[in-house]
Structure 1
Amino acid sequence: MPTTSLKRQVTLGMLMYTLLLSLGVATHGVIVNENVERLIWESLLQSEFEHFQKRQLTDSGYQWADTDLLQLFGRGSDTPIPAEFDLAHGIHDEISFGKKQFVVLVDGAGPDRSVMALDITDIEKAEQQLIWMILGSSTVLVCVLVLVTIFGARRLVRPLSGLARAIAELSPDRNGQRVQVEPHAPKEAQVIAEGLNSYLMRIDDFVERERKFIRMASHELRTPIAVVVSTAEVALDPLVSQRSTETHLRRILATAHEMQNLITLLLTFARDPARLQSMMELVDLAELVPAIVQDHRLLAGSKELVFDIITTPPCSIHAPRQIASAAIGNLIRNAIENSEHGTIRVMTTSSGVTVQDSGHGVSESERSRIYTQLARAGSAAAGGIGLELIARACAHLGWHLDIDSLEAGGTKATLTFR
């Protein structure tokens, strides 16, 4: 279905309104003029005719004398009634007789009728001139109103037209696009622009989260998948002993748990932070942390490590359970990977979890890289899963990760939940 521009619709609407208004005013003026004119003629002729009748009653020898404008026909006059004036009783306007126009008063019926005729030829000519003058001025006024309407409509819809052009120029393959309106644009146009820009910002955030998810998933999942595949191939080798097969299966299971935590974290980055609020629940760290430690004991099977869990009640937090579990699990796994012997101490409080190991610690460059990752709010970086991935989760959820190297050796990582 064809559509027209708003400016054209407004212009045509105002033009139709002006024409209808002018036609209505003109029609009303004509009707009022005709009614007033009829009342005037009736009053004038009735007054003259009554005066004539009174003179006849008081003066039997009185004879009517015609003038250039007023004439009497029929009874009371020696002039017979012309065929043009042979009309019904009453007032009749604009009756043509010869080259002139008359307004006629007919009184009586049959042979006793009297007709008084007033010559209004000059008045009708003046009226016609006045009508043409009014039509001319109305035409000029309509043309001026049309020009003003076109200018006003153009000025009125210019912000919307600019907004429409800006929307049409938006490209789906570009980020950071915004629409601008004139500083003095109507409030409605500014509200539309602000709403659209807010929507574009949300789209940019969504696209960026999707890109980060794809980039991190393709990078982070490649290594554990390769481990699972290679370990499964070795376990299926008929030359491998049953004890070795069990070891390989345990490694596959541990890697699968690692991938499960990784996928949970990656899916977190793909979500809108506002939508994560609906996933918040009360999580008891005193119950959650021992279960996570138990799941990761397998990774420390060949190492001389001891786990020490210290719980300081109350130790309940509000957080998405799966995401909190994945983040804590990554801290514990990172401590296991960086330690060969000693104690891994996991301490829980009402605000978060601290994981302390006795490994080789974190270098200044590594710690600087992790804090840079936090400042960039989740930008991609290589290095596998671990502290950097938790740093991305902290930036996304508003959590805080603090990492320190201990003087006696080892690393202390504190995850504070919001």
Structure 2
Amino acid sequence: MQSRRKLRFRLVVSFALFGFGLSALFAVAALNIRTRVEDQLVNASLLDDAKYSNHYAQEHPNAPGAGSRLITGMVKSDRTLYKAPLPWQNLGTGVHDIHEADPDDGGRIHHYKLAVYRENGIISFVRYDVSREELGKQQLLVSVIGAVFLFGLLSLAIGLWLSRKVLKPVSQLAQRLREFRRLGKAEPLAPEFADDEVGELAQALDDYAARLTSMVERDREFNSDVSHELRTPLAVIASTTELLQGSPDLTPKLAERLKRIERASRQATELIEALLLLSRAERRGPTRGETTDVAKVAGDVIESQRPQIRDKPIAVHLDVRTSVSVNAPASVLAVALTNLIGNAIKYTLEGEVRVEVDANGIQVIDTGPGIKPEDAERLFQRGVRGEGAGGSGAGLGLAIVRRLCELYGWQVAMRPRSDRNGAIASLVFG
């Protein structure tokens, strides 16, 4: 995963690197040009001075010698060349680099430019000490390097100042957005900013906020309408079922069907309440500070699932090891357990389904075909159904359970049994 840097940091670094690189390039170019020009000028001057001494000796053969117009030198003929230093005697016309010890400087090695000019038996030598020039080059190099770092620091300072100035409107926009979140209401952003790129971004955010607010309002109205329109007929069904169950001439078969209608009506009411909580992302506890008894809700859910057990050799057991209560509505817990226990009963063709309640939470253990370890997490995705699932389910049950658990801080998981075929669904209360 690539690291993400702040825009201001990237602007500062880019400006500083640009300034440093430009200064370094200028310094290298200046040193290179200075070295080339200096070398050409020194060579041309030394050779011209040697030529002057040579011509002067030819024109004035009896004169003691013109010497050097620049530095030090000597003029020899073929007969007196042996008096010149031995390393000079075989040098041809041109400028040569010589490194010799200077006895007047404690024997320290000096770097010289030696100009030699041969014509008509006369050999002239002009020696130029470039050690000082090299010292000057070193001093220039140190000065240029210092200037590069100075300009680099200056570029960094300018980059910091420019980035703060350039990004100030963006920071102000982010601050206003954070204030809207704290205050719980949004106000137009565009009027507070100039007509530039930041103002264009603010206008786009205003348009997006308007569309989002409209969508939220429509969703809220839809949830309220659905809640009202569905709860009213369900309340009628529940009250009518209750009246019918009190009838004295009620047959056992009809009484059983009325109980099924009552359970279905209650489950529908609980599901509507849970889905409304999810749509609003609202976590609500039971009324009047009461807590929900997990074992009682689990028992009610098992009873509501009895019709699924009919015509199946399945035994459903509730094992309450510890009394547990949760700070959540019974409807929310009932929806979660209905999906977990209902799935276990649906996938188990024979054997047993055991619901264990302990201090940590609930485990639903079945003897069905089981699940693959790699599919355990995927089953909680929307639209994913287990292998061998029958009926016309849409694969939303476990996804709803996961969302309810995230809302209340619970943990839900599925895993295969290790001792035999089957699966274990666990619900841990946080």
TM-score (structure 1 length as normaliser): 0.45
